[in-house]
Amino acid sequence: MTRSKAVRIDRNGGPEELKIVEVEVGEPGPGEIRIRHHAVGLNFIDIYQRSGLYGLPVPLQLGMEAAGVVEAVGEGVVHLKAGDRAAYASQPPGAYSELRVMPAKNVCKLPDAISFETGAAMMLKGLTAQYLLKKTLPAEGLQPGDFILFHAAAGGVGLIACQWAKALGLQLIGTAGTDAKCKLALEHGAAHAINYSTENFAERVKEITGGKGVKVVYDSVGKDTFEGSLNCLRPFGLLAIFGNGSGPVPPVNLGVLASKGSLYITRPTLFTHIATRESTQAMADDLFAAVTSGAVKIPIAQRYPLAEVQQAHRDLEARKTTGCTILTL
């Protein structure tokens, strides 16, 4: 057994519940690997799990993405070997640690051209942007020149999506809560940016699109933007809610979708899309290609030592962060 520092909660609550503990890490079993982390990514899903919004049994070791070096592989693992550089977004949680044993299915070899810090910052957020822009599509599809609306455009997923959408020829309208964050979205490829704390974003979207609305809204904010998001859609448009930053969306009257033009709503998750080894690798290959080509740059705006994980959560929850945030080891 090897000892490892890890971040654990013993009960749901605020950032003060995050404790650094020592855990024992053994050998990988069938279908598993042991990986030593060099950097760990932070995501809003970590906050949902810590607070109890996404109910998981406690005690719980947090963290859904990281990058490092594979130390050992278990029986049946053929796509990785000891010594490989690797990165992942994966269940179950446990990435906030120096070392862990975990399922190998969602772990991918990290190209030499991509650093450990970039790998840790990009997997969950980059794969999310990938499935949104490539797989979560309106009934009429997306073509170059189409308008799309992306909330929280200066966040980790948002800044990746701004760049990727531009590379695909899409006109991304981004929303954010400050002028500085709107400027950041524009610098990363958004065609337009709306400060939703000072402007009615639904009215501005209609102005930008000549009254037509957008084909799709990608919304990780949830409750506070839900009604406005529906009002931004053209007939047959799609609202893809992939997060609950402001709280969960209340029950929906399906008649509203009819009255607003045969609209669609979906609640996708990354882990449905990476349910198999094959789908994980295909999506990761697409992401790696976008990053190594330079079309998408991964913006790491905050770095915290593992010992400062409580402050990292406070800043993320208070929306003081932009782009990607990582823990360093």
Residue ranges covered by each domain of the chain: 2-124+271-328, 137-267
State the pLDDT at residue 246.
83
What single string gives the DSSP state of each residue in 2-60? EEEEEEEESSS-SGGG-EEEEEEE----TTEEEEEEEEEE--HHHHHHHHTSS---SSE
Within 13 Å and on the Cβ side, how many CA atoms surround 215? Answer: 17
Sign of CA dihedral 150, 152, 157, 163: positive
State the pLDDT at residue 183.
98
State the pLDDT at residue 24.
96
Tell me, what amino acid is at 318?
Answer: A
Residue 30 CA to residue 41 CA, distance in Å, equals 26
Tell me which CATH code domain 137-267 carries. 3.40.50.720
State the pLDDT at residue 54.
86
Decide if 73 contacts 81 (C-beta within 8 A). yes
Domain 2-124+271-328 falls in which CATH fold?
Quinone Oxidoreductase; Chain A, domain 1 (3.90.180)
pLDDT along the chain (329 residues), means of 10: 95 98 97 98 94 91 98 98 98 97 98 98 97 97 98 96 98 97 98 97 98 98 94 98 88 95 97 97 98 97 97 94 94
Alpha helices in 99-193 (DSSP H): 116-135, 156-167, 179-187
State the pLDDT at residue 245.
83
State the pLDDT at residue 118.
98
| Residue appearing with tokens 């709503």 | 265
